[in-house]
Amino acid sequence: MDVATIVNELLGPEGRRDPYPLYEQLRAFGRVVQTDEFMVAVTGHEEADEILRAPAFGVIDPALRAQFEPDYLDHPGKTLLGESILERNAPDHARMRSLISSVFTARRVAALAPAVTAAVDGLLDELADHGDAPLDFLDAFAFRLPIGVICELLGVPDEDRHLFRPLAADLTVTLEALVEDDELAASDLAAVELSRYFSELAARRRADPKDDLVSALVATADADPQRLSDTELIANLSLLLVAGFETTGNLLGNALALLFEHPDVADRLRDGTLDPSALVDEVLRFDSPVQLTSRVALTDGLAVAGRPVPRNTGVLLLIGAANRDPRRFTDPGRFDPDRRDGQPLSFGGGPHYCLGAQLARLEATAALPALLRRFPALAPAGPADRRERLVLRGYRTLPVTLGSEG
């Protein structure tokens, strides 16, 4: 197949379900491949890492998107996250990120460890009450854990937490390369609902502050409105919420599916002879919840791997391909939690490195060993159903039976 055909296959249903063979076919054309007149795709780990860290490459911000998408401003599903750090370049990105980082600190996340352990134990207790009937691991555990944790961190009341998984699923579809009209309409509704919710929550915290992230961000923004507008506050709260559990839920689902395929690895995780952090790193590398991201050349005279990348050229960073680059990882198509040949790029790099990376690792390393120890006979209860998405990779359903407790 030629490059154009491979790219079209990636965007199709089969390619979205299993992109890895297509990544390898694309890699055969080079580490940086011209896909059309205005776009290149990057399959190499070194090259993707270089671009993620280079100030000369930025995200495709709202101003540029509006030039190429005439209806961009008509869709809140597209514009909501456009006001967040996810889709802003310097100096706006640095201004907003420094403020958010000042309250969403490593110390605050580390302090959540006991709460994460308690949340895991509580969910496992609920699973134990379920009995022997099959259940969907994603609904019963994988998404409930990170939803509970990020909502606790933000200060979202318990009674509201059930609202957010469908809203996040609808909103994040706009991150995909192809969006159907009905999906875009659902995304618009989700954006309006999230904006309304966080506007009201911010107003309540402004009047009655609590010990939570929303209160801290509101107070910091109020102290210096030039650093964070009301629109940016709502956009970034929405981003923290959806990013706080969408990718972590997919990470847990992808991890369990791989543990079912590799029972020897599951045994080692259960008996404590495998470091949970090593397992999580390998799941992130082998089947990343984030498969691609994009950048744009901001200046003239750029080149990557010897290929010129003119100003305003779009760059598709195929994270899933870079994480299986044979120049970086030995036998990259093999799932091996014992490998020590480098970190995956699943959380990005450079100024846009994922703010929630530490929290996602904390949740996954707490949850997976505890799950396997509590339910040593945990097993698939039928075929898992993949979501047909390319950017955010995970399962729609993952049916399991628990068996007896350990």
**Measured between alpha carbons, how far is residue 8 from residues 105, 275, 314 in Å?**
41, 39, 17
Q: Return the pLDDT at 67.
A: 84
Question: What residue has token string 């993707």?
Answer: 48
Q: Return the pLDDT at 221.
A: 86
Which value, to the nearest 10 degrees, does the dihedral of the CA atoms of residues 246, 248, 254, 256 take?
A: -130
Q: Return the pLDDT at 87.
A: 95
Label residues 12-50 b or e (16+ Cβ within 10 Å = b): eeebbeebbebbbbbbeebbbbbbeeeebbbbbbebbbb
Q: Crossing angle for the helix pair 3-11 and 20-27, nearest 10 degrees?
A: 160
Beta strands 135-136 and 292-297 are unpaired
Q: Return the pLDDT at 244.
A: 81
Q: Where are the alpha helices (DSSP H) in 40-133?
A: 45-53, 62-68, 76-82, 92-103, 106-110, 113-128
Mean residue pLDDT across the chain: 94
Q: Return the pLDDT at 63.
A: 87
Task: Show the low-confidence residues of the chain (pLDDT under 70).
Answer: none
Residue 4: alpha-carbon gap to chain centroid:
27
Contact 106, 358 (CB under 8 A): yes
Q: Return the pLDDT at 383.
A: 95
pLDDT digits (tens, 9 = 90+) for 351-381: 999 999 999 999 999 999 999 999 999 999 9
